[in-house]
Amino acid sequence: MSKGTINVSVDNIFPLIKKFLYSDHEIFLRELISNATDATLKLKHLANIGEADGVEYGNPIIEVKLDKEKKQLRIIDQGIGMTAEEVEKYINQIAFSGAEEFIEKYKDKDGKDAGIIGHFGLGFYSAFMVAEKVEIITKSFKDEPAVHWTCDGSPEFTLEKADKKDRGTEIILHIAEDSTEFLEESRISELLVKYNKFMPIPIKFGTRTETLPKPEDAKEDDPAPTKEVDNIINNPNPAWTKAPTELEDKDYNEFYREMYPMQFEEPLFHIHLNVDYPFNLTGILYFPKMTNDMSIQKDKIQLYQNQVFVTDNVEGIVPEFLTMLRGVIDSPDIPLNVSRSYLQADGAVKKISSYITRKVADKLKSLFNNDREGFEKKWNDIKIVIEYGMLTEDKFFDKAKDFALYPTVDNAFYTFSELKDKIKDSQTDKDDKLVILYASNKEEQHSYIQAAKDKGYEVLLLDSPIVTHLLQKIEGSEEKVSFVRVDSDHVENLIKKDDEQISKLSDEEKETLKTFLDGVIPKEKFTVQLEAMDSNANPFIITEPEFMRRMKDMQKTGGGGMFGMGGFPEMYNLIVNTNHELVSEILNTKTDKKKERLVNQALDLARLSKNLLKGEELTAFIKRSYEMIK
């Protein structure tokens, strides 16, 4: 037996490792199983290239064993193993020098932005975050004796021969008093499923009972036979590790259910990522059915590194608009810090992000070209992602022109170029600007939509929460195009033509009417405007100017700049149609009381069509209406 002292100058390195090495102690198990996997795969590689003479690779597994009584957790592999010399080198020298360098660099920080993983052995020392003593019993695949290494969390260690006969490594953790949660079977099972669900080597954790088919001669009441089998917690060959040619749609859907067992709806479609230059990346992204609530969608994509789960916060790797998708990305080339949980921003990540954006755009274009009808049916379920991408990623915005759709209130779908061709003759104003009309709520804005349709105009239905921001961007990229919501002005003013209506009222009559209306209609809510319109148009129409409304909408969803419109009181224009007979009747009514009653009734009808009449005011309107028809 030999004893030794690890040559480090930092005092009490273990408490520092425990505090700073990882921000989350639970990942010790992930690190130890990752090491066991690496050791197994190294043996496989050596066997494949003929460097492991006389060694049969077989079907190795990694086993996790729990002994609550002895307060021990063991991780056993059948991998490459280590000789005494290798233990001395990799555990006592390289690992500690790496740990020391790490501590020196980051001991005054919180550890969250800690250095790049890759110091061989640092993963192993995460064991000391939860264990008061750690043992390694290991036998190399080479014809050398097994060794037993022990360390109690001080710089002293012992190294002696062991009687282990089979190749591989066993790590024994003597769990510390402050970490007894890791002696609970449910906790270990939870961590194995979380981090190691798709590791490439089978991982055994206990056994489970499997029900066998009944024998043919069994009676109906006979219980089905059972047997105890290894409880393998992982799928070593997940779908993303296979070539797309090996998979069918049902395979992709089965893998989706494996990743998201609580999702009962099938994904709309998937995108298989597979690139090996200039970086390595594989994965599968799924478009689930979306809602307009962007806040609840994110953090469903899982990031793996060589099939080891790292994080479900993929911000920075995946463009923000795609964080609403689901699926998995696996890349050994994404630089991660020592806790494997925080990204270092660099060129590789930017290239990966651009690649994913391009792949998604290409897939959407392909779906649109190959099955437009099917794409249109899915549009409402995927539009929030596409519109968000158009808003936030310029390259995606350019590509999306080929497949982004603009639906109408009548469920017709146009690309932007198709839409322009469709409406250029009827919706170009006197200044040669193309005016695109839209509604955000088909029910609430029905009367305004109908007025526009009666004029032969096409009305889009754009109801995403970010649509206001997107319209600003489209207007900035297109010459002589503007979007106008149907309730932002009366129909004659939405698309101004050269021909103007002549008012039936004289200037004097208009002045008299305006003075009366200003005395009755609350100034803090409405700005009264007299307009000559078609006599069949409504007498009173409430509108909200496009610019003011957009500023408010943009501030609600982030934006709006210095204007701060979100805090402004609601202000509307009340447009009074001077050519409507009710307006003439109001003007010619003798008593002010009756005149005021007509104005209030007409105003409330306009408010009702704008969905602004509620509560006490709605009750008063109903009561007044009944009195008028007695």
Only one residue has tokens 């797309």, namely 244
CA distance 306 to 281: 10
Tell me, rounded to whole angstroms, the distance of Cα 175 from its chain centroid: 37
Q: Which residue has the higher pLDDT, 291 or 7?
A: 291
CA distance 281 to 328: 11
Q: What does the pLDDT look like over 480-511, one tens digit per residue? A: 999 999 988 888 888 888 777 788 888 898 89
Tell me, rounded to whole angstroms, the distance of Cα 75 from its chain centroid: 35
CA atoms within 13 A on the CB side of 459: 26
The pLDDT of residue 496: 83
Q: Which amino acid, residue 241?
A: T
The pLDDT of residue 47: 85
CA distance 485 to 462: 9
The pLDDT of residue 118: 34
> Quick one: tokens of 548?
């003011």
Q: What does the pLDDT look like over 355-390, one tens digit per residue? A: 999 999 999 999 999 999 999 999 999 999 999 999
Q: What does the pLDDT look like over 43-78, one tens digit per residue? A: 888 888 888 777 888 899 999 999 999 999 999 999
Q: Which residue has the higher pLDDT, 570 or 479?
A: 479
| Listed range (260-274, 505-519, 550-564) with the worst mean pLDDT | 550-564
The pLDDT of residue 77: 96
Across the chain, mean pLDDT equals 84
Average pLDDT on 598-625 reads 88
In order of start, what are the domains of the chain with their CATH numbers? 12-208 (3.30.565.10), 239-370 (3.30.230.80), 404-500 (3.40.50), 507-560+568-629 (1.20.120.790)
Q: Which amino acid, residue 616?
A: E
The pLDDT of residue 206: 93
Q: Are 484 and 547 in contact (CB under 8 A)?
A: no
Q: How many CB atoms lie within 10 A of CB 305?
A: 18
Q: Are 517 and 606 in contact (CB under 8 A)?
A: no
The pLDDT of residue 14: 61
In this predicted structure, the answer to whether residue 342 has a pLDDT above a threshold of 50 is no
Q: Are 122 and 168 in contact (CB under 8 A)?
A: no
| 180 carries a ligand binding annotation | no
> Quick one: tokens of 174?
């003597």
| 283 carries a ligand binding annotation | no
Only one residue has tokens 């921001």, namely 469
Radius of gyration of the chain (CA): 35
| 31 carries a ligand binding annotation | yes
591 in the Ramachandran plot: left (φ > 0), alpha (ψ -120 to 50) or beta?
A: beta
| 617 carries a ligand binding annotation | no
- 299: confidence class by pLDDT, cuts 50, 70, 90: low
- 255: confidence class by pLDDT, cuts 50, 70, 90: very high
| 308 beta partners | 305
Q: Are 40 and 77 in contact (CB under 8 A)?
A: yes
Q: Are 198 and 307 in contact (CB under 8 A)?
A: yes
> Quick one: tokens of 475?
């207007």
CA distance 263 to 288: 9
Average pLDDT on 308-337 reads 83
- 150: confidence class by pLDDT, cuts 50, 70, 90: very high
Average pLDDT on 189-207 reads 93
Angle CA(158)–CA(162)–CA(163) in degrees, nearest 5?
Answer: 165
The number of helix segments (H) and strand segments (E) in the chain equals: 19, 22
The pLDDT of residue 59: 92
> Quick one: tokens of 489?
């002005």
Q: Are 210 and 226 in contact (CB under 8 A)?
A: yes
Average pLDDT on 312-318 reads 81
Order across the sheet with 572-577: list the strands: 526-531, 572-577, 540-543
| pLDDT > 70: percent of the chain | 86
The pLDDT of residue 551: 79
| Listed range (22-36, 350-364, 381-395, 548-562) with the worst mean pLDDT | 548-562
The pLDDT of residue 458: 95
| 82 carries a ligand binding annotation | yes
Q: How many CB atoms lie within 10 A of CB 80?
A: 24
Q: How many CB atoms lie within 10 A of CB 593?
A: 8
The pLDDT of residue 167: 93
Q: What does the pLDDT look like over 96-146, one tens digit per residue? A: 555 555 455 544 444 433 333 333 345 788 888 899 999 999 999 998 999
